[in-house]
Amino acid sequence: MFKSLLKESLLKKIKMSLPTSNSSTILELPDGRSEKLEFTQVKATQFTVSDSDFELKSGVNVELDIHNVNLEATSKVLWPGEKVTVKGGLESHGQALKGVVNIPINKTIHDGVRGESWLYWKIETPEGVLMNDKPIHMVGEVKGLPPQDSEFRSEDVITLNNEKGEFAGTIYNCCQSN
């Protein structure tokens, strides 16, 4: 009975908003030039709790649909003074980005639990649009939803292509602080 009531309440789409965050990533171009870009959030990130799975032995997995990512940085090295923007989600790829929060059976979210997201970005630079085909896998500790006071990091080097599908650079050391 408890399991079905919990699942029923978690299955309802809960809309949430993350009003502010700061992000950074290192962008490296094919010629070897690189820059650590420091992004600020242009508009609030909207997301919904899309599904949850409760298992008596392992806990709760809360799945999230991240509807938008809107970031902006001013380049200091690659294109001094020029804007670099990042869009993700419905506005860039036409579908929500995915995230999940894993809450073990013996913890609450307020204890600090693992959160993950898989991001597809459309990066607009003065030299053109760059996109990733492989998601940026971000991992962090979450103490609530929306994930305030959390930091997420990536570990992989992600290949970027231009709009023609040609190699156009890489990004790595992605970090997001909420």
Tell me the pLDDT tens digit for each residue of 60-69: 889 999 999 9
Partners of 49 in the beta sheet? 14, 64
Tell me the pLDDT tens digit for each residue of 29-56: 999 999 999 999 999 999 988 767 666 6
Q: Is the pLDDT of residue 94 over 60?
A: yes
Which range of 58-72, 92-106, 134-148, 152-166 scores highest in mean pLDDT? It is 152-166
DSSP notation for 129-175:
EEEESS-EEEEEEESSSS-TT-EEEE-S-EEEE-TTS-EEEEEEEEE
Give Cβ neighbours of residue 41 (< 8 Å, ≥ 6 apart).
18, 19, 20, 21, 22, 23, 70, 71
Mean pLDDT of 117-123: 96
Output the pLDDT for position 12: 57
78: pLDDT confidence band, cut at 50, 70 and 90?
very high
Q: Is 58 helix (H, G, I), strand (E, B) or coil?
A: coil
Q: Tell me the whole-structure pTM to 2 decimals.
A: 0.86
Output the pLDDT for position 58: 74
Output the pLDDT for position 55: 66
Mean pLDDT of 88-94: 88
Q: Is the pLDDT of residue 145 over 80?
A: yes
Output the pLDDT for position 2: 37
Q: Is the pLDDT of residue 125 over 90?
A: yes
